[in-house]
Structure 1
Amino acid sequence: MPPTSVELIRDHGLGELLDHAVFDLSGIAAPQSVARQQVHTALARCASTEQIDDAVLVTDELVGNALQHGYGVVSMTLDVYEKGATVSVLDRGADISAIPTAPTVDEVGNAENEGGRGLYLVAQFSTAWTVQAVEGGKAVVAVFNLTGGAL
């Protein structure tokens, strides 16, 4: 069973919650663009440019995956902590067993393997990630350790 987001936050020592925001992404024309902008804005005061770029890339992948595989994105939750942040994307897909582990470098480099690159990016550019069942679907959560940034 994958770790819960609470376990990931605790295990990575993100500290106290400083800011919590939920964004409704259902039914809007460009949910990926909105999600990227919200993450960029929220982290601009507390993270390095590289850390912001990593979080924006992962957010784009999570929302894109929800649109493509999760029967539509519903919302994004963004939590900023003393030493990090989490991005959680909720979609309507209920089957969390269908979420594979991130592929290996060899699998990503295989020309016959057309899927799985998004989760590879999520695994490479976040500190940790997990998927969990929630009411109405599933949430994919990425954790970012922002120590050494502008905090």
Structure 2
Amino acid sequence: MELVILRLLFMLGLVLLFFSLRKPPLKEWLLCYLLAAYFGTFLGDLAAKHELISYPVKLFTQFQSSVLYEYLLLPLLSIYFYRNTYRSSMGAVIGRAAVSSSVLTIIEVFLEHQTNYVHYITWEWYYSLISLFLFFVFVWLMMELLNYLAGEKQEVE
């Protein structure tokens, strides 16, 4: 049953990715997705290899970490986070990052207690809260820096 849910999440993630990349500015959303996937994969792989966290049930069993989360779901959530904070002040970004990371941490703790999707070895829930908060803020700052260096920021429709 858990693999069925992972497959449904995979299909849902692909559909949401398709719809999230349909609106301009495509360059912004694609860059945000790739940036989040790169750093998410690096950090997730680091946590799995150091045996802080494990994923007993995986969609792609060749990998130690959760490829579905790191390559699809977290970058997709980062696009939506960046889209919602595109023109926001730093205070608003911090507030939304706190709310977003809190919701994701609650979901992760529920999954850790009720399913075999994720298992904390030496990981604690507040590590997820802090790391997700910092991750969202970091991706937002990187996108702002890249826009500043490029000298442009397109209008969102």
TM-score normalised by structure 1 residue count: 0.33
Which of the two has greater helix per residue? 2
Which structure: larger Rg? 2
Q: TM-score, normalised by structure 2?
A: 0.32
